[in-house]
Amino acid sequence: MAILRTVATLATATTTTAVAAFAFSSSSSFTSKSHQPKSQNLSFFSSQSLSLLYSNKSPLVKNFSNPPSALPMDAPTSDHKNTSQGDQGLPELLTEYMVDMKCEGCVDAVKQKLQTVTGVKNVEVDLSNQVVRILGSSPLKTMTEALEQTGRKARLVGQGVPEDFLVSAAVAEFKGPDVFGVVRLAQVNMELARIEANFSGLSPGKHGWSINEFGDLTKGAVSTGRVYNPKIEGSAKEPLGDLGTVVADEKGEAFFSGVKEMLRVADLIGRSIVVYGTEDKSDSGVTAAVIARSAGVGENYKKICACDGTIIWESSSNDFVASKV
């Protein structure tokens, strides 16, 4: 009997050890898979093109525990261009458009035009999905105009980098009645975000603008709270959400492209962007828009509007005025 009890005990221990080992192996396998970069939507973009992006990442910050001070968007420094028309020194991103293409001739025309744009490093086209993917540092406004010059309809559908960011891009749309425009934010890496904006309907001159705490527009800009300013070690005295100024021309139009250090796009969803009547951000602001999540790379190949069945190319230009850039 003693021998039988010993054998039973050894069998039970062996079974328990095997089950534990299997559980550990399964857990390890699941963990490693769940942290792999999202690459399932990048099949037609070559590994050579992606390597170009990674090899040219901006080496601004390598240790997040001791980051540099955040630069105000309009700080006049020797290596940081900050005018509202600035388009130099932007970090590279992947940008996706849906373009109305019918044949290989359309593909060649689109590629040839985009390859003449300063800042565009590589262009690849998926004719079957009517998708054009562009790698480079050129502003959205410039690329959009180049595509339109080919005589084909184009709609921006995604922007970002092929990293495992929960949220890689965001947008705030200003839909009038006086000020129209769009602000787009894209996460370049965990310490840097790229910002592009265009406005119309502003009074000529300088206008302050900022990311504010709340997306409450019940009272317009008044109910959006203070300028967004999370506590970040080593950050500058200016609030992180202070975006500096944009300059409207005599037509009331303003364009901006630049970067902002330490800005996390995922933390901005549901907040707001406010534009002020002057450079003074102590007033209530003249207009505001809520920041919403925008499609990243490979996330938005829709051709039909689910609400009314309208094909994207059948939509009128007025439907895209606020999102022109």
Which CATH number belongs to the domain containing residue 89 in this structure?
2.60.40.200
The tokens describing 212, both together, are 């504010």
Position 161 scores a pLDDT of: 78
Q: At residue 51, does pLDDT exceed 70? A: no
Predicted confidence band of residue 213 (pLDDT cuts 50, 70, 90): very high
Least confident range of 167-181, 259-273, 310-324: 310-324
Peptide bond into 67 cis (omega under 30): no
42 within domain boundaries: no
The tokens describing 269, both together, are 């969803």
Predicted confidence band of residue 314 (pLDDT cuts 50, 70, 90): very low
Q: Report the mean per-residue pLDDT for the chain.
A: 74
- Sign, CA dihedral 325-248-291-159, equals positive
33 within domain boundaries: no
For the chain, give the percent of residues with pLDDT over 70: 61
- For 79, counting Cβ atoms within 10 Å of its Cβ (0-12 exposed, 13-18 middle, 19+ buried), the class is exposed
246 within domain boundaries: yes
Rounded-to-integer distance, Cα 68 and Cα 65, Å: 10
14 within domain boundaries: no
24 within domain boundaries: no
Supply the range of the domain harboring residue 112: 47-61+74-320
Please state the rounded mean pLDDT for residues 276-301.
Answer: 86
Q: Report the number of distinct structural domains present in the chain.
A: 1
35 within domain boundaries: no
Tell me if the pTM is above 0.75: no
Place of tokens 């300013």: 229
40 within domain boundaries: no
Rounded-to-integer distance, Cα 314 and Cα 99, Å: 13
Q: At residue 185, does pLDDT exceed 70? A: yes
175 within domain boundaries: yes
